[in-house]
Structure formats: structure tokens, C-alpha cells
Amino acid sequence: MDVVEVTEGKTRFFVPRQDPHLQFPPGSGPVFYNSRMELNRDATVLLLSVLRPGSYLDAMGASGVRGLRVAHEVGIPVTINDRSATAVNLIRQNVEALGLTAEITREDANALMSSRKFDAVDLDPFGTPAPFVDSAARSAGPYLFVTATDTAPLCGAHLKAGMRRYFSRPRNTEYHAEVGLRTLLGFVVREVIKYDRGVEPLFCYAHEHFHRLHLRLRDGAAAADRTLARLGYVMQCPHCFYRSEQAGMLPEPEECALCGADLVPVGPLWTGGINDDRTLLEMQEALTAVTAGTGSRIARLLETCRLELETSSHYDYHVIAKSLRVSPGGIGTVIERLSALGYRASRAHYSGTAIKTDAPLPVLEKVISGG
């Protein structure tokens, strides 16, 4: 195998040489490695440096980079698994070159997670994590991390695929990134609570082509019931920008308060908070001690997430301005004016034109139009 040396964080490792002329170079190597996921891995290393679980499973290692970095940079016991013999050989070479004592296994991920327990289980598949979440929910101790890169099904662009994989009906709205993140979280929650375990989101975000969840799991039926209460729907008007939120397993019929149309349910999905402020603060404080190539981007992400409202949707103020045929001011000005009127308002971490607010839609439209 023709390999090249790569450095992420403090870790140097070898990956297969990729063909840069292809549309998706990571797919050209015999073992998968995607350099565009560096922020995802940097953030996980940072979070684990705060949480410090007693054991960690990289369930689908591929090149092994995630597990290698956790073992080398955080110093916690790591198991790196892949079912490919080629991948396992590369992982073993990288572990030996770094002088690590990480455990390397070659098993089907579901079989491994069905037979062993780990303090933290990390799912980072190519595409959907849906086939692996049930076994991960049984394997994970206090922490479960999940990445999904099938953003089109999650966001409603590929509706039938989203319904098959996540047992939800997403809708391709202007806040589709939020829908995708909360659809994924809602699916993971439903897989966890059937085992009388609750879920507490620590750090969940949408970025470019992926959604990422970092979750704390709590044992007990009471914790599961508290989690269940946060499942619900965004009720979207099909004719205007109005939307509301509903809690519950099944949506109740509701009419648009502005135009009277029947609202369309989006979900079920997670309607609670997606971040834990104390955890984000600890990550901010620890960031200076962690070597992260995407450190400045993570710093901005953490700050925005700490300020972000917990609403399950946002308004794209450019889309609203276009509908009103006005030229909008800066997003900061719109947020300041909403705050001055006594409403809460914030940016959303995944879009530069997204506004989260508890202001009624007519108020927001008036602010955007300069009235």
C-alpha cells in the first residue's frame, strides 16, 4: 500500500495516498481517511480531554486516526476496531509507530458492541450510523458519540431514505441543518430510552457535510422518561414562515396563527437543548492546552453554541427580507433590535444568516423591514 504521512493535532500517522483529481479523493484509497473531518476529530479530542472516560471505543476505525489521536493526545485506554484486514494492518502499523498500547480488534462493529462495554463509544461511519446505534446504546457507559454524513436524508432532501433510516418525517425547510441535527438526535434518543436510559446532550452541532452528537447517558426509567418528554415536532406552515413546536409522540392538528393553513409536522425529533453550557465552558478553558489545527474555528463554534437559543428552528433573515422585498441590515443589528424590544435572539452555529428568536414572526418581519 502506497502511504503518505499526515499530522493532525500532536499525532503523526500514515494513510493511503489518494488521487487528488477525483471528485471525492478519500474514496480512492484502500482505507478511508477524510482530511475534511479534522474539525470533528479536534472537537472530540478536546471534549475527551475534559471528560476523561476510563475507556474509549473507535468502533469503525478505518485509518484509525480518531482512536490514534485519542490515545496519543488524551492518554486514555483506547480500542480501535475495523472489520477490514487492510485497515487493521494499517492501524497496527500506526499504533506501533507511535509507541501506543491501544487495543486493535477486527470485528463486525455490531458484534463487538453487543459483547463488550466501554465508557465512551464513538460511531463515525461512512454515511448513516442508523444500523449501529442500537448496539452502541447497549455498549456505551456514560458517553455515546455519533457522526452522520448522510445529511440529505436527515434534512428531508431525500425524504424516503430519511424515513427508512430514522423513523421520522423530516422536511426540507430553510432551517434544514437544524432539522437534520434534531432528527438524528431524536432517533438516537429513541434507541437509548427503550433500555431505560436517559440522554443529556453535551455538545451537538451541524457543520458542512456532517452532524455530530456528543451525549451523556443516564441510567434509570426516570431519566428515560425525562428524555422522552423532549421528543416532539416542529409544526411548519406550508404557505408562510410561521412555525410552532409541539411535545409528544404524535402530532396534534394545528392551524397557522397567521394564515389559517394546516401546519405540517416535522419529526419526531428532539426539541430540547442540544448543548450543555458547563461542558462548553470547560472545553473553552481547555482549548489553549490542546493542539488543534482547527482551534480557531472550534473557538468560534463553542462561543456561538453557548449563546444560541434552544429553539428547534431558525429564521433565515435573508429569505424573509427577500419575501418582503427589502434590503436587510446586518444580522447583528437585527438581533440587537429584537433584544431592545424585549425578545431573546441569537445566531445559529451552522449558518451566517440564521436567527433564533422567541419574537413572533410579525415582529421579526417588522424589524427586518426596518419598521
**Has residue 178 got a pLDDT over 90?**
yes
Mean per-residue pLDDT, 291-315: 97
Whether 215 and 200 have beta carbons less than 8 Å apart is answered as yes
- Closest listed residue to residue 320, CA positions, set 276, 360, 278: 360
pLDDT for 275 equals 98
Whether 275 and 202 have beta carbons less than 8 Å apart is answered as yes
For the stretch 156-173, pLDDT in tens is: 999 999 999 999 999 999
For the stretch 116-136, pLDDT in tens is: 999 999 999 989 999 999 999
In sequence order, which ranges of the chain are alpha helices (DSSP H)?
38-51, 65-69, 85-98, 109-115, 133-139, 151-155, 159-166, 176-193, 221-228, 277-286, 295-307, 317-324, 331-340, 361-368
**Has residue 294 got a pLDDT over 90?**
yes
For the stretch 81-107, pLDDT in tens is: 999 999 999 999 999 999 999 999 999
Peptide bond into 268 cis (omega under 30): yes
**Has residue 200 got a pLDDT over 90?**
yes
pLDDT for 19 equals 83
**Has residue 28 got a pLDDT over 90?**
no
**Has residue 371 got a pLDDT over 80?**
no
pLDDT for 125 equals 95
Mean per-residue pLDDT, 235-240: 96
Q: How far, rounded to the nearest angstrom, does the alpha carbon of residue 20 sit from its chain's CA centroid? A: 28
pLDDT class of 23 with cuts at 50, 70, 90:
confident
Mean per-residue pLDDT, 194-223: 97
Note if the pTM is more than 0.75.
yes
pLDDT for 342 equals 98
**Has residue 50 got a pLDDT over 80?**
yes
